[in-house]
Amino acid sequence: MRLGKLSLRGGLLAALLLVTQVSAVQGQQKPRELVWTHAFDLACRRLNELDFTKDTQKFGVEAFKDTNNGLGLFISQVGSLAAGSGFQDLKLPLDSKGPEWITGLDLPARAAGDNSFDKAKVHSMEVFRDPNTDNWIYITEKGYLAVASARGKTPTGSDRKPKWAHSVDLRVRKGGVKDWKEATKFGIEVYRDNTTGNLIYISETGAIAALPDTADAKPAAEGKAPAWLHGLDLSCRKHNEKSFTKNTRKFGLEVFLDANNGNLIFISETGNLAVTPGPKNITSPTANVKEPAWTHGLNLKVRKAGEKEFSEKTTVYGAEVFREENLGVILYVGETGSIAAAAK
């Protein structure tokens, strides 16, 4: 078993942390300001680093409440996004508590088309519990985030190894490209974290996503291939880009149904992942696909580990928020290509 370590950080007023960009759609109501809630530094050991030491790398993580939809948004210092619940009833300013370290995981992820784990890259990560919002938080050695609701559960034991469930290879087209000829293929592994009861999806890039492995999401057809539903193009401005233009970066996303458990898998052209429970009676492919509806944009300030105060030098990431009208999902996309998703 590996040891754990973390540290808690404070923050300034929400107005100093981020700006909610004004809607560019004529007649649309101006979005509400986001509210900063808490922050912390999370340590993550690299592969084969058995113990936490003073040299173990740390990542700064900020947490915000999106008052436009009631969701929580976590972002790491590398620009990785994760959406979570448990923010609606927070009383601010929050007398925040530091998250509890649960366990460390080393998960192999094969490249697309590779049937053997012999050459699979192993990605290390740490698992924490945020007592402020009752979420499990996963952070990898690259600073990638994933969040899943803890729902009052307690860990079943930090010495329980994760169990590999299945794998899928997913193809993704670049933004604005309709042809599949040049689509990139990513290998995805799915594990069950037996300590928390969550399913972890991990891309060969090291990007991760997680959600509770609920009783009504048990495998219906173990090993069945994913079903492609539809593709999306999501534009995202950089933090210093005030308006959408022809030069604004457009990220391609594909949406799949994991037929082994009924979950939805969202994957971007950068290999970043998001997962949500899928609605019942989904048909593939999606008929009469609706374009995502843009709701608002964000500029998010994120401090690096050890950076106590926000300043002009603090890193800022741009992000956009969309309603996925076909499946009833809220989608976040960041300027790094990171994505997050949550059911409405």
Say what the alpha-carbon torsion angle 81, 317, 38, 90 is, to the nearest 10 degrees. -70
Return the structure tokens found at 84. Answer: 């979570």
Residue spans of the chain under pLDDT 50: 1-6, 12-19, 22-27, 216-221
> Residue 317: what are its φ and ψ, rounded to 5°?
-120, 140
Residue 209: name the closest of 165, 291, 275 by CA. Answer: 275
64 inside domain: yes
> Of 182, 183, 44, 193, which is closest to residue 124 (Cα–Cα)?
44
Give one word for 157, left, alpha or beta, with left for phi > 0 and alpha for psi -120 to 50: left
pLDDT at 12: 41
Residue 267 lies in a domain: yes
* Residue range of the domain that includes 176: 6-343
Least Cα distance to 147 among 132, 165, 164 occurs for 132
- Tens digits of per-residue pLDDT, 183-226? 999 999 999 999 999 999 999 999 999 999 975 444 444 578 99
Domain membership flag for residue 233: yes
In a domain, 288, yes or no: yes
pLDDT at 158: 57
Whether residue 253 is contained in a domain is answered as yes
pLDDT given for residue 157 in this prediction: 65
Q: Work out how many domains the chain is built from and give that number.
A: 1
What pLDDT is recorded for position 29? 61
> What is the rounded CA–CA span in Å between residue 214 and residue 179?
36
Is 251 a domain residue?
Answer: yes
Q: In the prediction, which pLDDT does 295 show?
A: 96
- DSSP SS3 for 16: helix
Which class for 121: exposed (0-12), middle (13-18), buried (19 or more C-beta within 10 A)? middle
CB atoms within 10 A of CB 325: 12
In a domain, 1, yes or no: no
* Residue 123: φ, ψ to 5°: -110, 125
What is the amino acid identity at position 252?
Answer: G
Task: Kindly state whether residue 194 falls inside one of the protein's structural domains.
Answer: yes
What pLDDT is attached to residue 141? 98
Tens of pLDDT, residues 80-124: 999 999 999 899 999 999 999 999 999 999 999 999 999 999 999
